[in-house]
A and B are shown apart, each in its own frame.
Chain A
Amino acid sequence: SYELTQPLSVSVALGQTARITCGGNNIGSKNVHWYQQKPGQAPVLVIYRDSNRPSGIPERFSGSNSGNTATLTISRAQAGDEADYYCQVWDSSTGGVFGGGTKLTVL
């Protein structure tokens, strides 16, 4: 089965840039999607198909995907960006696959 690997935690200073990675075998050949989940809330899609932002998601959120690593970048980090972030792909044999999640702390 396909596996996605994320760091458990990432810290970023207020106003700086946070980068959250998602590793997988040749993940660059797949569409990667990212979700933000705040405590007690449902996940929210923030990036789909590597680098596309849904309506209502700030331009500060961007994504890239190449080789064995996909990256979610959050520019000018705000206190409100503190959350868990999950990457996700759709694997032809496994179906939906989520990474383990990364807790973002804004210092």
Chain B
Amino acid sequence: QVQLVQSGSELKKPGASVKVSCKASGYTFTSYAMNWVRQAPGQGLEWMGWINTNTGNPTYAQGFTGRFVFSLDTSVSTAYLQISSLKAEDTAVYYCARVDIRDGDYFDLWGRGTLVTVSS
């Protein structure tokens, strides 16, 4: 079954770090780039950037540089999003979504999302 399975909800204190995972199955992992999308409570979708699953090269959208890191473990077909120095405004659902690495420009498969709550 073609799917992206994300890790469970996280509750973190301000200043801590969190690492969200996104495990792909049912397709060739390196045929699709992995993107990350944020959705703050009651808000819209915000593209965070993507990582090339062939080269491991990440690209970050404006506003997601510095504290945000995309990484891969291709041996287990898994992408990761790490956020450091967490702030209350990082509270959101984080989705992984794939894009065809050859010529894709749309997200045809999404994970179910990981809720990250930052609160003291």
Contact = CB atoms under 8 A, between A and B. Distances in A.
Contacts of A54: 108
A7 B93 CA distance: 23
B95 A42 contact: yes
Interface stretch (A15-23, A71-79, A95-103): A95-103
Contact of A42 (B44, B49, B59, B112): B112
Given A35-B107, A42-B113, A86 B44 contact: yes
Given A1-B62, A45-B106, A96 B111 contact: no
A43 B95 contact: yes
Name which of B45, B47, B50, B62 has the most chain A CB atoms within 10 A of its CB: B45
A54 B107 CA distance: 11
B108 A45 contact: yes
B46 interface: yes
Interface in B31-59: 35, 37, 44-47, 49-50, 59
Interface of A: 1, 31, 33, 35, 37, 41-45, 48-49, 54, 84, 86, 88-90, 94-101
Interface of B: 35, 37, 44-47, 49-50, 59, 61-62, 95, 97, 105-108, 110-113
20 contacts: A33-B105, A35-B45, A37-B45, A41-B112, A42-B110, A43-B45, A43-B107, A45-B107, A45-B108, A48-B108, A84-B44, A86-B45, A88-B45, A95-B47, A95-B50, A96-B47, A96-B50, A97-B47, A98-B37, A98-B44
